Chains A and B, each alone.
Chain A
């Protein structure tokens, strides 16, 4: 279907709107906390009332011609701040305003408000300051050295996805459930009864708040209808008002109602806190199917539904991720807020879930060609090849979406973690590639872990050579290592030391969030927070998982292989000589560098000699983390993805034994080092599937193809077979960047001509123009499959 006039207009409005900071939320939350009456409330109730206050007083924005209403800020791309979590300084605002990439315009008025009202009130009270104040010196030193990052220092532990239940449930029903849970509390025998009661009270306030917020839209729509000269639009506005009266208080019965129902929920989640990965409707083609079929039966046309979906897409694109600062801005340097819409996969009963809507939504993705939301298909062995081929045709157009996931692997990962099979089948992947049980799990990413940096520190016996400071522990002077095993043992000790620091930090930070910043609204959405009378941030969900994400798998593998091969197996040079060369960034060591790059077995070529080291690193990383308890009663687990942290970590890591010069990006996800794979995509797939991906919560594999690769008869068949093969080998995810290097180089020179050029970065897509030059160069360098 082509785009209607209205959609063209709304899409342009979204594309042309400039990302800017809105002080609205900051002002309202400050007003709320300044009010003395709020001081005596319990923290959960205080948080719920703060949300209610914001939803009651924030401006209602209804854009001209819109079908789905509600904006997080007063207008598209108006981006709120969360001073109680992360208080932007005037300098931060200045940087946001002027930084060349991922900037947010900050008006003088916003700066004034910040300097006169927001900063004076929140200084010393924000959660970020609370966290930094609670962390210990070893954590700070490792964090500063770039050994790991920390997600929750300035964004809330969100990272979850809506499941089936809420798409069928109104908030009036949830209030009933809250009352039932409240009635069951046993104040005599349960020492936590009061805390639970306060949490339930908070949830009830939050449920009321969203109903009130929807009604405010109803009023505004009726007001607009009153003034509307155009009869057709008038009827539309009245219908939209009816919908806002009905949902989310009551369950939705039409596609229009369901999309609006979700959208109010989305807005409340991202207004309550600034959770990582905003929020996500998840399995959209599944949730919508029943109302879609009944709409069609009632005579609503497919064109109307199609248009509603397009309108829904635009709403996501109006909402850039809240502005991050410092290290966190570097590890996730993007406007994308990681709403990953899932299509396909299997139903609760395990049967093929691909339906008519899956294809319609793929059409919408292709037509809208927007940065947000992200999209993916889940592919089970039960899904038809035609579903994959349709998707490949969109991938070929080169905007990096949708990515392709293995449902059968996801289900097995979830089952291994102890989830019920129905919950597992209802799950999928969110964010970049993260596995989750939708609607029932809190699965929080806690930070990236730099696998290569740990080797650098090991090779310098605990010292970070970039700063000369002692950052790790003494694991032995490398000149005395007699075998590769000695070195690997030292690496393992060093890794365990840093992982323990990371997990300890996670538990401190997790406790702080649970205690100081509960999320009563989000808790309404994820089962079983209501029946447990426990907050999402405190472990109230049915399943609670915290992840540490390993980064630089290709780099660490090739680095270890280089040492094993040249130093211990072939005696080409000593470890001391190698360390010396690394610390001089290979200056004066041309031949050694040449041997490292050109004459060393490399990860990504289905060569067991080279791939072995990846498996060893995987095992020690897994053992260090998997199964350890979190502060909120959950379990720590691993996954392997980078977002943009491989670039940040690269800047923090000197030269590595794989021949990588200092300060250049690490490898991303489980992909080979850029340029190290020279045997084509099937060999890459064989290599990466040696890693036992079922023991992770997701991995990321990036494969770059130029458009010409798709220009032969059987290309779609062969790519489908490639995907099927990877998934038979239990691969988790594969994404295709379809673009040619010359186009990218030209885009670097003439950004003005490539405003719409979207490329797959790592688990998500971004505007090429918005990437830093480093990242742009890296994408150009990645192995092109041109000649295959």
Chain B
């Protein structure tokens, strides 16, 4: 079985516990305005012109974004990092893009991991049919579940999709008793404000329990922006600054006072 991915990142240390290997799946059902992996959105392999530099000389070559890979070959790459996973209580994280748009490929890969006792995590935006979740559920230890807005209108406006499915899937996952960490991007001028965050908190609070007690806040940062130029994609975030720490602290406190364990990433 083959899937389409666009990157394998080793020594990934911000996508779940320990030292991890993150697999970036290509294709996403959202189009978040701030996306820091804009090359991940299209589910097909795309072409782009890559620029390499040697001193002052510039070399342009056509390259692909994304490639097909067989699940066994991909797993071979993952196994190379097993020793680090063992020593750090790390594992594998499927991210993207939206890994759950290739559920069978993902499930196959995760099944291999579990057979070798590797911890598995899925970083998902949740905007896929619940059946896709069901496919991978038996082989998944942890969900990193992105929630951007509670407000449906804003969600549609800034991500291109309704959030009903996302919120429903979240509730369904919670019921399975799988571990979940909710990740909230904090985007200035878009969702970085107290009323929006209060709505998210009020949605999450009833579901807090032993399998869901952690929230990660991901303040917007510029590093993704260089990709818009590199892949020649229109950047709608021009002029938006990275949030200051004093804008983030009140939000951290908001979730902490609701009893969540909050981490700034």
State how many residues of chain B have any CB contact under 8 Å with chain A: 24
Q: Which residues of B contact A788 (CB under 8 A)?
A: 11-13
A714 at the interface (CB under 8 A from B): yes
Q: Tell me the minimal C-beta distance from A714 to chain B in angstroms.
A: 7
Nearest 10 A/B pairs, CB to CB? A721-B88, A680-B11, A721-B87, A682-B11, A725-B87, A724-B87, A594-B59, A725-B83, A725-B84, A682-B84
7 further A-B pairs in the complex, CB-CB below 8 A; given A721-B87, A722-B84: A593-B54, A598-B52, A682-B11, A721-B88, A722-B87, A725-B86, A729-B83
> B263 near A: Cβ within 8 Å?
yes
B35-93 CB contacts (< 8 Å) to partner A: 52, 54, 57, 59, 80-81, 83-84, 86-88, 90
Chain A residue numbers with a CB within 8 Å of B265 are 712
Contacts of B14 in A (CB 8 A): 712
A591 to B52, CA, bound (A): 11
A65 within 8 A of B: no
- Give the residues in chain A near B81, CB-CB below 8 Å: 682, 686
Determine whether the beta carbon of A682 is less than 8 Å from that of B10.
yes
A195 at the interface (CB under 8 A from B): no
Whether a CB of chain B sits under 8 angstroms from the CB of A713 is: yes
On chain B, the residues within 8 Å of A718 by CB distance are: 13, 18-19, 88
Asked if B13 and A714 sit within 8 Å, CB to CB, the answer is: yes
Report the nearest A residue to B88, measured CB to CB. A721
A91 at the interface (CB under 8 A from B): no
**A338 and B203 alpha carbons, distance in the complex (Å):** 62
Is B11 a contact partner of A590 (Cβ separation < 8 A)?
Answer: no
Return A639 CB to nearest CB of chain B, in Å: 24
Main secondary structure of the interface of A (DSSP, over half): helix
Per-position binary interface string of chain A over residues 707-743, scored 1 when its CB falls under 8 Å from any chain B CB and 0 otherwise: 0000011110110011011001100000000000000
Across the two chains, which residue of chain A brings its CB closest to B14? Answer: A712
Write the nearest CB–CB distance from B157 to chain A, whole angstroms.
31
B260 → chain A closest CB, angstroms: 16
Contacts of B12 in A (CB 8 A): 788
Asked if A721 and B19 make an inter-chain contact with CB atoms under 8 angstroms apart, the answer reads yes
> Does A298 have its Cβ within 8 Å of any Cβ on chain B?
no
> Looking at the complex, which one of B10, B18, B52, B88 makes contact with A594 (CB distance below 8 Å)?
B52
Is B223 positioned at the interface, with any CB of A under 8 Å from its CB?
A: yes
A residues within 8 A CB of B83? 725, 728-729
A contacts, CB < 8 Å to B: 590-591, 593-594, 597-598, 606, 679-683, 685-686, 712-715, 717-718, 721-722, 724-725, 728-729, 787-788
Q: Which residues of A contact B52 (CB under 8 A)?
A: 594, 597-598
- CB-nearest residue of chain A to B80: A606
User: Can you give 21 A-B contacts (C-beta < 8 A)?
Assistant: A590-B57, A590-B59, A593-B54, A594-B52, A597-B52, A597-B54, A598-B52, A679-B10, A679-B11, A682-B10, A683-B11, A714-B13, A714-B17, A717-B88, A718-B18, A718-B88, A721-B87, A725-B84, A728-B83, A788-B12, A788-B13
Find chain A residues with CB under 8 A from B87 CB: 721-722, 724-725, 728
**Separation in Å of the A608 CB from the closest CB of chain B?**
10
Q: Are the C-beta atoms of A682 and B54 separated by less than 8 Å?
A: no
Nearest Cβ in chain B — how far from A339, in angstroms? 32
Q: Mark B213-235, 1 if CB is under 8 A from A, else 0.
A: 00000000001000000000000
A682 to chain B, nearest CB (A): 4
The CA-CA distance from A680 to B17 in the complex, in Å, is 18
**Per-residue CB proximity of B1-44 to A under 8 Å, as 1/0?**
00000000111111001110000000000000000000000000
Q: Which residues from A are CB-within-8-Å of B19? A: 682, 718, 721-722
Complex alpha-carbon distance, A590 and B84, angstroms: 39
A721 touching B54, Cβ below 8 Å: no
> In the bound complex, do residue A721 and residue B263 qualify as a contact, i.e. CB atoms below 8 Å apart?
no
Closest CB-CB distance, B134 to chain A, in whole Å?
Answer: 32
- Whole-angstrom CA separation of A713 from B261 in the bound complex: 13
Residues of the A chain whose Cβ atoms lie less than 8 Å from the Cβ of B86? 725
B90 cross-chain contacts in A, Cβ below 8 A: 721
Considering the chains assembled together, what is the distance between the CA atoms of A787 and B11 in angstroms? Answer: 11
